[in-house]
Structure 1
Amino acid sequence: MQQTANGCGFAPWQDPNEEPLIRFEGVTKKFGEFTAVDRLDVDIFKGEFFALLGPSGCGKTTLMRMLAGFEKPTEGRILLDGRDIGPVPPNKRAVNMMFQSYALFPHLSVAENIAFGLKRSDMPKTEIPGRVDEMLGLVQLREFAGRKPHQISGGQRQRVALARALAKAPKLLLLDEPLGALDKKLRQQTQFELVDIQEKTGTTFVIVTHDQEEAMTVATRVAVMDHGRLIQVDTPDRIYEMPNSVYVADFIGDVNLIEGNVASTEGERVEISWAEGQPLIVGSSASPLAAGTRCSFAIRPEKVAISAERPPDAVNAISGNIHDIAYLGNISTYHVRLDTGHIVKAQTANSRRIGRRDFTWEDAVWLSFTDTAGIVLTG
């Protein structure tokens, strides 16, 4: 979880003396002429809940399959605890994998499913019942130990699959879209259960998902992928607040993007010329920018205030008319059309029960935001 990464001081990637559990060194994977993973370097540390996030075909599943041993790198090395695992077959790796389908044996009970891998391991047979009971307790399924998979819910089947994957105490657990088969409400609940179990066991989790909310909820760090490359690897809050490119800003969450040119800079403060007859937009940039640089101003809708009058002390204020309204229960999103034709989204929290909306379609409004609310991107 985000809180784990930032609130509790867990950040081994910031410690130059910390050795990673997993290291990708110049890893490339090709299928014929197609490059699925392209010269990838990344370190994953012990105890992380690491998310690989990206659209279909970006290379995240190929990356996971190489970790599991189902695919071999075309170039480069993958190290696990300092050892090159390229030559190590899947069944000899200290790695386990949990699939979206869960792959439970329908004729075996919950307890027997969890015990299945243990019976084929080096664990003494006398120790297996105790380990199964420990796993049942971990996933809170002791009372369902004798049931078959079809006699329990989808969320419970997911926990059986997780218990079975963790039973052999792998150094690394790979989760391939593990919650994709669950409905939204159950998926959200199970995300927190996953984090709780990961923290209790201390096992390193690597999850593949295309669900941004899922990655942001569970991960200590998120790796955003596109066309076989890592675009940004960072904590969820930094991925959201400090994207390093237009691609990441646009892929993670909702964002307004306005193109323009740098008019002037002073430290991190940047003024952007973006439309004739419109006031300059004042934003911030993490890196120095020269005047005239083509750029995009990215700002999240929740950081844009909407009002009937121009706020007198606003650093940035733009006028327009409400083009559309999306009522989402807890929030409302206003789509405001500017005189330039741009559509800018502003969000407000619905903190009171609906009586009458402050604004409706075609109303003239002002959008305002601070000079640090948005970020200037050039990539």
Structure 2
Amino acid sequence: MAVKVFAPWDNPDEKPLIRFENVTKKFGDFVAIDNLTLDIFEREFFALLGPSGCGKTTMMRLLAGFEAPTSGKIELGGQNIVPVPPNKRAVNMMFQSYALFPHLTVWENIAFGLKREGMEKDKLNARVEQMLKLTRLERFAKRKPHQISGGQRQRVALARSLAKAPKLLLLDEPLGALDKKLREATQFELMDIQEKTGTTFVIVTHDQEEAMTVASRVAVMDEGQIIQVATPDRIYETPNSVYVADFIGDVNIVEGKAAPLEENQVRIDWAEGQPPLVCTATQPFDPGQTCYLAIRPEKVMITAERPEGADNAVQGKIHDIAYLGNISTYHVQLSNGTIIKAQSANTRRIARRSFTWEDPVWLSWTATAGVLLAR
């Protein structure tokens, strides 16, 4: 049986749920969002990722209706929502602080919005029970927020946000207050709930691991612009710029001058006294053009002897070792001072390291292991 792949963005006939069209948002002279165009599809779990001040929260506030764009339009389900006030939009927002009512029980917190809308009692009770079940909070229905844990409060806020069945749920750094283990568990819960409800989620985060875990697609932002939008694996394996390569995960960036060879191969002259590197390029480079080779540490092999027939091999000394339990990262200093990181999996218990500080080693990788970027 063929597995149906969820990729509405690859289907030209698919209409987006949310469309940003040439949206600019200025605060005085400061441009927070710079002529941004973006489509987000129904049932997506979409992540806006970037450093503080890149414009991701402003985008979310524009969707919620707390800010209006300076120019451009925002559509939800084909309707321009810019003139629609926040409480009339089929959009709900879950805040980082959860914003629960301390004097109300979990049950009452979830029911609050539905009561305000005047939902009839039987329907309201059924809806709240459904939300408690979805977020596995049935046992805590009668407790107040201060009587439950941070992770449970987070789920109450989620249940309350989903109770009104919004078309779109906005999550602003929703897991920021949780510790690492709980955060990881909650990420999978969020994905599970999103799938069960079919609601479109847009999450704002500066945590790249979180974005890579939960999202169907990630938009990497910088200074009010979207630098790349793609699935997590494409963002990681084929970044479109040094900025994206550097922002997501660990990477070595080697700057050099390109010398095109045949069959998409490019020679990179990069440091005096170092052998040129070879890379398979997906885009054309001119002779002498500045280029950047981005290569992930896990794709660099570390050996004591020079490897036979390697496309790229450089020699250096181990300068630093980071032991992370499942992997070790070796920082290797070459004769010209460049540091290149290599990673290897610790499949056996480390009683005696194969390599230690100051050891001379060879680093090698294939021509297809890295990505050659123009900027």
TM-score normalized with structure 1 length: 0.97
What letter is aligned with 2:227? I
Please tell me whether the aligned partners of residues 303 and 369 of structure 1 are also in contact (alpha carbons under 8 angstroms): yes
Q: Specify which of 324, 346, 353 is matched with residue 350 of structure 1.
A: 346
Spell out, residue by residue over 1:77-115, the C-alpha distance to the aligned partner (whole angstroms, 9 max, x if none).
Answer: 000000000000000000000001001111111111000
1:377 paired to 2:352: no
Equivalent residues in 2 for 1:27-66, closer than 5 Å: 27-66=23-62
Alignment of 1:51-90 (within 5 A): 51-90=47-86
How far is the alpha carbon of 1:126 from its aligned partner?
2.3
Alignment of 1:139 with 2:135, yes or no, is yes
1:13·1:45 contact (CA, 8 Å) conserved in 2? yes
Question: How is 1:200-215 mapped onto 2 (pairs within 5 angstroms)?
Answer: 200-215=196-211
Amino acid paired to 1:313: G
- Of residues 249, 256, 262 in structure 2, which corresponds to 1:253? 249
Q: 1:280 deviation in Å?
A: 1.5
Partners of 1:265 and 1:289 within 8 A in 2: no
Q: Which residue number in structure 2 is paired with residue 225 of structure 1?
A: 221
Whole-angstrom distance in 1 between the partners of 2:219 and 2:91:
20
2:230 match: 234
Over aligned residue pairs, what C-alpha RMSD do you find? Answer: 0.9
By how many angstroms is 1:270 displaced? 1.6
The residue that corresponds to 2:280 in the other structure is 284
Equivalent-residue separation in structure 1 for 2:66 and 2:227 (angstroms): 25
Shift of 1:268: 2.9
Cα deviation for residue 8 of structure 1 reads: 4.6
Q: Give the Cα separation in 1 of the matches to 2:287 and 2:190.
A: 48
Offset at 1:354? 1.5
Counterpart AA for 2:116: R
8 Å Cα contact 1:267-1:288 kept in structure 2: no
Quick check: 1:262 aligned with 2:258? yes
**Given the two structures, how large is their TM-score scaled by the length of structure 2?**
0.98
Report the Cα offset of residue 10 of structure 1: 0.3
C-alpha distance in 2, partners of 1:121/1:10? 34
Q: In 2, are the aligned partners of 1:265 and 1:291 still within 8 Å (CA)?
A: no
Instruction: Provide the C-alpha distance between the structure 1 equivalents of 2:363 and 2:198, rounded to a whole number of angstroms.
Output: 46
Contact 1:302/1:347, CA 8 A, preserved across alignment: yes
| TM alignment of 1:132-211, pairs within 5 A | 132-211=128-207
How big is each residue's C-alpha offset from its partner over 1:241-276, in whole Å with a ceiling of 9 and x where there is no partner? Answer: 000000000011110001001022333322111112
SS of 2:261 mapped into structure 1 = strand
Moved more, 129-138 or 114-123: 114-123
Match for residue 111 of structure 1?
107
Task: Tell whether the 8 Å contact from 1:346 to 1:367 is kept in structure 2 after alignment.
Answer: yes
Residue identity over aligned pairs, in percent, reads: 72
On the 8 A contact 1:171/1:204 being kept in 2, the answer is yes
What code does the residue aligned with 1:137 have? Answer: K
